[in-house]
Amino acid sequence: MRRLSSLVILFLIAVSADAQISSRTMTLSAINDCVKDVIAANSVEDNGNVLIFPCTAARAKALYNFLGQKIRTDVVQDRNGKFENRPFGNNACYHRIEDQNGKSADEFRCDLVMTVGDELKD
């Protein structure tokens, strides 16, 4: 897991070497913050060929808002409530606006997905 976090951090450092702050740079920084928090909390979900980094609360809200500069919101109603979703690649951020009882909610979550393939499976 340390190798994975080191690779992510090195990648993001290389990308952020550009002195100009753009929406892409801010979004990558928010992704970096989410990944670091998930690793620090030992909350990475291992689903075989895929690792899921479930980012929540303030970090997820920040990333969700940065994504809003480029990605439109899809409103989805399911058994868990009503959500405003922002999918990007294999990833997505969610803003829960109503709970399963129809009461107003304000919760954020991002699921950052990394495909690792057979080579990195245990």
pLDDT-derived band at 10, boundaries 50, 70, 90: very low
Q: How far is residue 109 CA from its own chain's centroid? A: 7
Tell me the per-residue pLDDT of 34-47, one tens digit each, with 9 for 90 and over.
Answer: 999 999 999 999 98
Query: Which pair of structure tokens corresponds to residue 19?
Result: 């002195």
Q: Is 87 exposed, middle or buried (0-12, 13-18, 19+ CB in 10 A)?
A: middle
Poorest-pLDDT segment among 73-77, 90-94, 113-117: 113-117
Residue 63 · residue 85 · CB < 8 Å:
no
What is the pLDDT, as a whole number, of residue 111? 97
Of 102, 112, 87, 89, nearest to 33 by C-alpha is 112
Tell me the per-residue pLDDT of 52-63, one tens digit each, with 9 for 90 and over.
Answer: 999 999 999 999
pLDDT-derived band at 9, boundaries 50, 70, 90: low
What is the pLDDT, as a whole number, of residue 71? 93
What is the pLDDT, as a whole number, of residue 7? 46
Calculate the average pLDDT of the chain.
86
